[in-house]
Chains A and B, each alone.
Chain A
Amino acid sequence: DADVTQTPRNRITKTGKRIMLECSQTKGHDRMYWYRQDPGLGLRLIYYSFDVKDINKGEISDGYSVSRQAQAKFSLSLESAIPNQTALYFCATSDSPTGDGYGYTFGSGTRLTVV
C-alpha cells in the first residue's frame, strides 16, 4: 500500500457542486499539506496542518476548506466548485522538523475537472 493515499484519482464535477478530496497516510507523520498544481505555475500551498488541532491557510486558500479528522487523515473540500479550480491536487506529509529539513512524501494526486 502507498504511504500517502489520495481518493479519488480523477473526478469531474459540475460548477457549484461541493466536492471532497481525501488523503490518508501510513507514515505516522504529524504534518500534512494540500497543494494544487497548474501548468506553468508549479505547486501552490492551499492548506497545511501541523497536528489535528492546528490548521493553517496557505497562499491560495480562498474557495477551499479542510478537515483534519485524525493524525492520518486530511481532507480538502471545495464548497462550491468553479472551473478555475480545475487542477491536479496533491496531498503531502512530513515529519515534525527538528530543523525544518524534512522533505515531503507525496500522494499520487487527484485530477479534478470542474465543468
Chain B
Amino acid sequence: AQSVSQHNHHVILSEAASLELGCNYSYGGTVNLFWYVQYPGQHLQLLLKYFSGDPLVKGIKGFEAEFIKSKFSFNLRKPSVQWSDTAEYFCAVNHRGGGNKLTFGTGTQLKVEL
C-alpha cells in the first residue's frame, strides 16, 4: 500500500520568508502527485499536480514543487510567503492503475506572521 509522509507538522514563518514543505511517498511504481491547500474553514483546493514530464511543476499563487524520483519526494516551495498563505497543506499521491484513489499525508499547518 502506498503511504505519504509530511514531516513538518507545524511551520511558522515571517512574511517574505522562503517556504519548503517536505513530502515523501512510498510506492515503487508510477505515481501522480498533488499538493492541496486548505484555508481556515474551507475545503481543499488543488495547488498543483505532477503527472509526467518536467519534474518542476508550477502551480497557483506562486507555489512550485519538484518531483525527485530517486528520493521519492515531492517538496512544495514558495520563494516569499504572504500572510494569506496561512493554511494547512496536504501532499497526496495515487498510483497509475489505482483507480484514482488519493492517499493523503497528515498535513502541514503553516502560519505566516506579519
Question: A and B from one assembly?
Answer: yes
Verify B51–A58 contact, CB threshold 8 A. no
A-B contact count (CB 8 A): 61
Partner-binding segment picked from A63-71, A74-82, A103-111: A103-111
B17 contacts partner chain A, Cβ-Cβ < 8 Å: no
Specify the main secondary structure of chain B where it touches its partner: loop
Residue in B32, B43, B98 whose CB lies within 8 Å of A90 = B43
- In the bound complex, CA of A45 to CA of B101 (Å): 8
Residues of chain A contacted by B45 (CB below 8 angstroms): 106
Closest B residue to A35 by beta carbon equals B104
Residue in B4, B100, B104 whose CB lies within 8 Å of A97 = B100
Residues of chain B contacted by A48 (CB below 8 angstroms): 99, 101
Count B-side interface residues using an 8 Å CB cutoff: 27
Given contacts A40-B9, A106-B44, contact A100 B106 (CB under 8 A): no
Residues of chain A contacted by B103 (CB below 8 angstroms): 45
Question: Shortest distance in angstroms between A70's beta carbon and chain B's nearest beta carbon?
Answer: 20
Given contacts A103-B34, A108-B43, contact A58 B107 (CB under 8 A): no
Residues of A whose CB lies within 8 Å of any CB of B are 31, 33, 35, 40-45, 48, 50, 58, 90, 94, 97, 99-104, 106-109
